Amino acid sequence: MQRGETYLSPPLRAVMPQGGPDGAPDSVSFDAVSHVPLTRRERELLVLIAGGATARDVAARLGISPLTARKHRENLMRKLELHSAAELATFAVRLGLPIG
């Protein structure tokens, strides 16, 4: 990696739009983004985390303990091979999930 370049994990690199001939990004298909099948609960968790919810917020919303919420986040990140909330948010946007 050269100085000044941005690092993206392999899963994110695979779903980032590539510039077309005119420099405009191509659209990313759902199949390209959903390389790992997610359950309804995992998508719900992804939306909450990507929207900036803390473990306490997720716990209150889903009726689980904050420790369980943190563990779910760790498991989701491991499953998707992502390493930060920013990567989770980017992945959620690429899936077309509502974040806010």
Could you report the per-residue pLDDT of 28-84, keeping only the tens digit for each?
333 445 578 888 888 888 889 888 899 999 999 999 999 999 999 999 999 999 998
The confidence band for 26, taking pLDDT boundaries of 50, 70 and 90, is very low
Q: In sequence order, what E strands does 1-100 have?
A: none
- Between 21 and 84, residue with greater pLDDT: 84
Whole-number pLDDT of residue 12: 53
Q: What is 10-95's CATH superfamily?
A: Response regulator (3.40.50.2300)
Report the C-alpha gap between 100 and 90 in whole angstroms: 12
Tell me if residue 46 falls in helix, strand or coil: helix
Angstrom CA distances, 10 to 15, 24, 61, stand at 9, 22, 31
